[in-house]
Amino acid sequence: MTFKEQIQQGIPSILPQKKEYDPAINHAPKRKEILSAEEKKLALKNALRYFEPQHHAELIQEFSEELETYGRIYMYRLRPDYRMYARPIDEYPGKSLQAKAIMHMIQNNLDYAVAQHPHELITYGGNGAVFQNWAQYLLTMQYLSEMTDEQTLTMYSGHPMGLFPSHSEAPRVVVTNGMVIPNYSKPDDWEKMNALGVSQYGQMTAGSYMYIGPQGIVHGTTITVLNGFRKIKQNPEGSLFVTSGLGGMSGAQPKAGNIAGCITVCAEVNPKITKIRHEQGWINEIVTSTEELVQRVASAKAKKETVSIAYLGNVVDVWECFDKENIKIDLGSDQTSLHNPWAGGYYPVGISFEEANEMMANNPDLFKEKVQESLRRQALAINKHTAKGTYFFDYGNAFLLEASRAGADVMAENNIDFKYPSYVQDIMGPMCFDYGFGPFRWVCVSGKPEDLQKTDAIASQILEEMAKTAPNEIQQQMQDNIKWIKGAQENKLVVGSQARILYADAEGRIKIAEAFNQAIAKGEIGAVVLGRDHHDVSGTDSPYRETSNIYDGSRFTADMAIHNVIGDSFRGATWVSIHNGGGVGWGEVINGGFGMVLDGSKEASKRLASMLFWDVNNGISRRSWARNDEAIFAIKRAMQVEPLLKVTLPNLVDEKLF
């Protein structure tokens, strides 16, 4: 069968041969035993409902074995034989250009060069899934190949509920992930519902088909590291940044350190992913002993090198060793997947990677004890370094949250706040999000590198023109992004789809998008998908990350994220998503995203202007109401530009009255 025929087939009526487990692939760890005997029976019933009854006898034993062996039913047998990557849009079957673009984006999320655990349909973060099983993937792709622009596909945590009649201005796909009742949003609730096959953790861009490989987080991390050094008034040259994690998101850190111009040490316990990041050029060197690491860092400091070093081992050993050897750490952070601490997101010190994986599955209580013990040691070592002048920030991965739950010394004197700031609190919130600057991204679905080069040039020209008249308050943001986009090609940031990201405000996003649409209309480039990271101005309500610099008591509310996805839906988004969970954990955040296809039409021009304006200013309005000075400045400026925008502004109270 051709590729198109396989897509159109969906779940095959004749079952393919059972596939052997490939040990060369980076697989998800075994999930812990959580289902009762009756619940296992229910999980099997749930999985078998995708198949005609004549196949049940053959599949029930196989799925039972998967559940026992891996803690989940992935349906490995149905994994396609064709190569998984974002094909040029013309290679997809279908009646709708928008639907073909979504297929392009789905396959990019599952590309072996992009996905963390591709055979388990997990893009990043240890559990950030596109689908729960391969039947869902096959059925979704089939629906998209049949869809017209008068239908909408609804996705329930990876399950394609079906195609419903709608209209051409409606979203083609509406995605929800993990939207469970709040009282059932504890980590074990996710483990159980995911094992049953009824809910999934979509992370952020994983479950909303908008991941563009590590490039997205490279840019955000570069901005964070640069601004971190600015905050401590230190030149990155010859300065040391220490962190951990080389996964789908955290793997961007060493590359960002290189772009910022510092020395980066990034610890990682998984040898497979370390090797992959080295082969991809995201890290320069791999070191396997702390003795060698100390010598290498001392040499780099003396020569003021720009270099990224992966330490294959536990980050706790690095923090403790550098304290003992008096290696000065200038910036410190952590980006292990602590939103998922008990299932592979964080590995305890003093135990091998293999031993930890076995303990995680077979003795989860002991594993949890070891993780919490390790967090206490890591926090203690960090405290010793900060006493010597290190600037440590939480990278929104729930490090401080889980460390506090483990009893580590990370709380401020009031015993309410953490003693270290979130990077959003200190850096990204006031410097970027409050002004409306966030991670705007686009994908050239033609698959042509030359199209991406043309869009880079368009974006660069527009930003330079805007910078000429931009107010002083946002000149730094403008210049950082002009520098970024000009260096994007030479930094070889593309992994997977022909994608790009930069931080832009509503004005910049609209102007860049309109210029793309005009170029498409003239035949200069092919169709373009617009999107953003959920980690943005208004898509996400996350009290320990995206909204950690909201101080009016509303940071634990999620009205903004819900309004955002509803508003995007009727203003022209091609697909929308809303998730429970994200970078800081299940039950800790509500976050939403979108995708928009530009095809050169007048309708696309109208949609982009309406939707992008709302998508950003919704968040600025909320941040303004929280009395954030930068957001008040930004929303007043937006109201001057758009007379139809009328936002309620806060009246500030004189502190002397108290």
169 φ/ψ angles, rounded to the nearest 5 degrees: -90, -5
Distance, in Å, from the CA atom of 61 to the CA atom of 627, rounded to the nearest integer, reads: 59
Q: Report the SS3 class of residue 153.
A: strand
Q: Kindly tell me the burial class for residue 427, based on how many C-beta atoms sit within 10 Å of its own C-beta (0-12, 13-18, 19 or more).
A: buried
Please report which confidence band the pLDDT of residue 197 belongs to, taking 50, 70 and 90 as the band edges: very high
Q: What is the pLDDT of residues 89-109, one digit of tens each?
A: 999 999 999 999 999 999 999
pLDDT digits (tens, 9 = 90+) for 323-346: 999 999 999 999 898 878 888 889
Chain center to CA of 611: 22
d(CA 379, CA 265): 18
Cα 188 to Cα 294: distance, rounded to the nearest angstrom: 40
- Containing 47, the helix (H) or strand (E) segment is helix 37-48
Burial (CB count within 10 angstroms: exposed 0-12, middle 13-18, buried 19+), residue 490 = exposed
Instruction: Give the DSSP per-residue string, 371-392.
Output: HHHHHHHHHHHHHHHHHTT-EE
Judged against a pLDDT cut of 90, whether residue 417 lies above it is answered with no
pLDDT for res 475: 93
Question: What band does 622 get if pLDDT is binned at 50, 70 and 90?
Answer: very high
CB 537 within 8 A of CB 437: yes
> Cβ distance 42 to 102 under 8 Å?
no
In the chain, where are the structural domains located? 3-196, 214-410, 429-657
State phi, psi for 454 to the nearest 5 degrees: -65, -40
Q: Which residues touch 476 (CB under 8 Å, ≥6 apart)? A: 431
- C-alpha span between 184 and 575 (Å, rounded): 27
3-state secondary structure of 500: strand
Is the per-residue pLDDT at 396 higher than 80? no
Residue 415: band (very low, low, confident or very high) from pLDDT cuts 50, 70, 90: confident
Instruction: Flag the least confident range among 167-176, 369-378, 425-434.
Output: 425-434
Tally Cβ neighbours within 10 Å of residue 548.
22
Tell me the pLDDT band of 44, cut-offs 50, 70 and 90: very high
Tens of pLDDT, residues 125-139: 888 999 999 999 999
Averaged pLDDT for residues 375-384: 97
**What tens digit of pLDDT does each residue of 445-458 get?**
999 999 999 999 99
The type of residue at 225 is V
How would residue 641 be classed by pLDDT, with cut points 50, 70 and 90?
very high
Q: Which two tokens stand for residue 386?
A: 């900060």
Residues 6+ apart with CB under 8 A from 233: none
Q: How far apart are CA 599 and CA 594, in angstroms?
A: 16
Whether 567 shows a pLDDT value over 80: the answer reads yes
Tens-digit pLDDT profile for residues 243-279: 999 986 788 899 889 989 999 999 999 999 999 889 8
Which residues are documented as binding site? 125-126, 203, 268, 395, 583
Residue whose structure tokens are 């954990």 = 585
Measure Cα distances from 99 to 103, 172, 363, 566 in Å. Answer: 6, 7, 45, 20
Query: What average pLDDT score do residues 603-616 get?
Result: 98
Mean of all residue pLDDT scores within the chain: 94
Q: What is the pLDDT of residues 465-523, one digit of tens each?
A: 999 999 999 998 899 888 888 877 777 788 899 999 999 999 999 999 999 999 999 99
Confidence class of residue 32 from pLDDT cuts 50, 70 and 90? confident
pLDDT at residue 459 in the model: 96
Residue whose C-alpha is closest to residue 129's, from 72, 26, 207, 197: 207
pLDDT at residue 563 greater than cutoff 80: yes
Count of alpha carbons within 13 Å of 92, Cβ hemisphere only?
A: 30
Do residues 355 and 348 touch, judged by C-beta distance below 8 A? no
Structure tokens at 235: 């030149």
Kindly report, residue by residue over 282-318, the tens digit of the pLDDT: 899 999 999 999 999 999 999 999 999 999 999 999 9
- pLDDT tens digits for 346-357? 999 999 999 999
Residue 528 vs residue 483, higher pLDDT: 528
What sign has the CA pseudo-torsion 515, 516, 522, 524? positive
Using only C-alpha atoms, what is the Rg of the chain? Answer: 24
Question: What's the pLDDT at 544?
Answer: 86
Please give the Cα distance from 576 to 344 (Å, whole number): 29
Topology (CATH) of 429-657: Urocanase fold (3.40.1770)
Q: What pLDDT was estimated at residue 296?
A: 97
Strand 575-580 to 590-598 pairing: antiparallel
pLDDT at 235 over 80: yes
With a pLDDT cut of 70, the percent of the chain lying above it is 100
Cross-strand pairs, 164? 152
Let me know: does 103 contact 139? Beta carbons within 8 Å. Answer: no
Annotated binding site for NAD(+): 125-126, 203, 268, 395, 583
Question: How many other CB atoms are there within 10 angstroms of residue 163's CB atom?
Answer: 18
Task: Give the pLDDT band of residue 167 (cuts 50, 70, 90).
Answer: very high
Secondary structure element (H or E) that encloses residue 256, with its range: helix 252-260
Instruction: Find the largest Cα–Cα distance for the chain.
Output: 78
CA 658 to chain centre: 42
Query: How confident is the model at residue 126, as a pLDDT?
Result: 83
Q: Are 272 and 280 contacting, i.e. CB atoms less than 8 angstroms apart? A: no
| Whole-angstrom distance, CA of residue 633 vs CA of residue 636 | 5
Rounded Cα–Cα distance for residues 32 and 191 (Å): 8
Class of domain 214-410: alpha beta
Nearest C-alpha neighbor of 635 from the set 614, 611, 610:
614
**Residue type present at position 108:** N
Q: What share of the chain is helix, strand, coil (3-state, %, to 5)?
A: 45, 15, 40
Give strand pairing partners of 241: 264, 331
Q: What is the architecture, at CATH level 2, of domain 3-196?
A: 3-Layer(aba) Sandwich (3.40)
pLDDT band at 652 (very low <50, low <70, confident <90, very high): very high
Q: How many helices (H) and strands (E) does the chain have?
A: 22, 17
Cα(128)–Cα(268) distance, integer angstroms = 19
**What pLDDT is attached to residue 221?**
87
Comparing 172-176, 418-422, 463-467, 530-534, which segment has the lowest mean pLDDT?
Answer: 418-422
Cα(27)–Cα(121) distance, rounded to whole angstroms? 10
List the strands of the sheet with 263-268, edge to edge. 285-287, 307-312, 263-268, 240-244, 331-332, 391-392
Three-state SS string across 316-354, please?
Answer: HHHHHHHHHCCCCCCEECCCCCCCCCCCCCCCCCCCCHH
237, 264 Cβ separation under 8 angstroms: no
Q: Name 319's Cβ contacts closer than 8 Å, sequence gap at least 6.
A: 242, 332, 378, 381, 382, 385
In 3D, which of 426, 419, 394, 429 has the Cα closest to residue 540?
429
CB 152 within 8 A of CB 161: no
Instruction: State both tokens at 407.
Output: 């009893």
Residue 533 reports pLDDT greater than 80: yes
The answer to whether 3-196 and 429-657 have equal CATH topology is yes
Any long-range contacts for 296-305 (C-beta under 8 Å, 24+ apart)? Answer: 297/240, 297/263, 297/265, 297/322, 297/327, 298/327, 300/238, 300/263, 301/238, 301/240, 301/263, 304/237, 304/238, 305/238, 305/263
Q: Which two tokens stand for residue 440?
A: 């705007």
